Amino acid sequence: MAKKHNHKRSLVDPPEITLGIDLGGTKILAAVVDEQGRILGEAKRKTRAERGVDDVIERIAKTAQEAVANAHLDMAAIAAVGIGAPGVADHLTGVLEFAPNLPDWTNIPLGMRLQQLLGVPVLVENDVNAGTYGEATAGAARGYGSVVGVFPGTGIGGGIVLDGRLWRGARNAAAEIGHMVVLIDGPQCGCGRRGCIEALASRTAIERDILGEIRGGRSSVVTQWIDVEGEPITSGVLARALEEGDPVVTDVVTRAAYHLGVFTASLVNALDPECIVYGGGLIEACGRFLLPIIRNTTYRYLIRPVAPENLPILEAALGDNAVAIGCAMLASQHVRALQE
């Protein structure tokens, strides 16, 4: 598409190209993205959180510059930057208030620091919020205005988009759906409470339940592949066991999917979104098994019955790029809002 670089920008011009960054506990991913959510160039680096905040911020800036170079652009072509971090971020001040997987990251003015290094406005967002926004604007749920994203993995993250806008809540703490209690006095959750959906249906919870069955005397094919007392039961191992019809893994994952279905129905009963998107490591590996159970259960527990075609429960499409693309799309939306 021909871009009009040599005349003054007017309100009818499309937003410029933006840059999205996914700051994870182990890696940093930066992607230059156009207004359709297509990646023009990207770069990756290890986070190395143990080297401290200043070092990580330098590494983020270098990764961003590399992505821009890989897109054959220079930083002046970037209208805005969005960065998604695994924690509570105040998008108005750009302060990352708290990030459990990044030691020492408390009240870090990440937006301002990066803005100084890159010379471009920087928006800071919670990573799963950004991933959901990515799926809603450029992924599986493109075209839908109201979308709930559910991402089961080590924990369960979520995001809520209502009428095309990311719903951040009154205190930037919305969409912590992994800690919705679905079973009073249920299993202990990492947050210290009991019975959260994360404690019932995350990969970690599934692993705990499989171990419980094996220690209780049931036999599973998984013990032939890995040392279950010392190694994690990864999503890949779960997928293989499901394929072979292992009864222990099948029972435990079926129960987890059922819990997710009841939980999804509660989300729909509260928010009445146009669609739901399921993503994350567990779904990528085992979605073929989990999603039909989640769908069946959800439709059974709705207070107002909806035909499946009118409330699709979709599988995420952007994979590992969802957060970076979502951040870039949020940055783009931010630029547009400033122009209006």
Instruction: Candidates 59, 179, 259, 334: give the one binding Zn ion (CB under 5 A).
Output: 179
Q: Which residue, 137 or 204, has its beta carbon nearer to Zn ion?
A: 204
Alpha helices in the chain (DSSP H): 53-70, 110-118, 127-138, 198-201, 203-215, 222-225, 235-243, 247-271, 281-300, 322-339
Partners of 161 in beta bridges: 147, 166
Nearest to 148 by CA among 258, 261, 267: 267
Q: How far is the CB of 259 from Zn ion (least distance, A)?
A: 13
Q: Which of residues 301-330 bind Zn ion (CB under 5 A)?
A: none
Nearest to 278 by CA among 186, 163, 141, 161: 141
Nearest to 279 by CA among 271, 287, 289: 287
Q: Which residue, 188 or 223, has its beta carbon nearer to Zn ion?
A: 188
**CA 40 to CA 53: how far, in whole Å?**
28
Which residues, in sequence order, are CB contacts of 208 under 8 Å at separation 6+?
187
Q: How far is the CB of 192 from Zn ion (least distance, A)?
A: 7
Q: How far is the CB of 266 from Zn ion (least distance, A)?
A: 15
Q: Which residue, 11 or 184, has its beta carbon nearer to Zn ion?
A: 184
Region of 182-190, 205-213, 234-242, 286-294 interacting with Zn ion (CB under 5 A): 182-190
**CA 27 to CA 127: how far, in whole Å?**
13
Q: Which residue, 179 or 334, has its beta carbon nearer to Zn ion?
A: 179
Q: Which of residues 257-296 bind Zn ion (CB under 5 A)?
A: none
Q: Which residue, 34 or 198, has its beta carbon nearer to Zn ion?
A: 198
Is residue 180 within the footprint of Zn ion (CB under 5 A)?
Answer: no
Q: How far is the CB of 258 from Zn ion (least distance, A)?
A: 19
Structure tokens at 286: 């085992």
Q: Which of residues 68-97 bind Zn ion (CB under 5 A)?
A: none
Q: Which residue, 101 or 115, has its beta carbon nearer to Zn ion?
A: 101
Q: How far is the CB of 249 from Zn ion (least distance, A)?
A: 24
Region of 59-67, 163-171, 181-189, 291-299 interacting with Zn ion (CB under 5 A): 181-189
Q: How far is the CB of 169 from Zn ion (least distance, A)?
A: 17
Region of 24-32, 143-151, 174-182, 255-263 interacting with Zn ion (CB under 5 A): 174-182
Kindly write out the interface string for residues 187-226 of this chain, putting x where it contacts Zn ion by CB under 5 A and - elsewhere: --x-x----x------------------------------
Residue 250 CA, distance from chain mean position = 26
Nearest to 221 by CA among 241, 207, 205: 241
State how beta strands 165-166 and 17-23 pair: unpaired
Q: How far is the CB of 298 from Zn ion (least distance, A)?
A: 21
CA atoms lying within 13 Å on the CB side of residue 329: 27
Region of 9-17, 176-184, 201-209, 223-231 interacting with Zn ion (CB under 5 A): 176-184
Q: How far is the CB of 198 from Zn ion (least distance, A)?
A: 5
Q: Which residue, 194 or 255, has its beta carbon nearer to Zn ion?
A: 194
Sign of CA dihedral 168, 171, 177, 182: negative
Q: Which residue, 155 or 261, has its beta carbon nearer to Zn ion?
A: 155
Under rule CB under 5 A, how many of the chain's residues touch Zn ion?
Answer: 4
Q: List, as one string, the DSSP characters of 266-288.
A: HHHHHH--SEEEE-SHHHHHHHH
Q: Which residue, 139 or 153, has its beta carbon nearer to Zn ion?
A: 153
Which residues, in sequence order, are CB contacts of 142 under 8 Å at separation 6+?
37, 135, 136
Q: How far is the CB of 196 from Zn ion (least distance, A)?
A: 3
Binding site for Zn ion (CB under 5 A): 179, 189, 191, 196
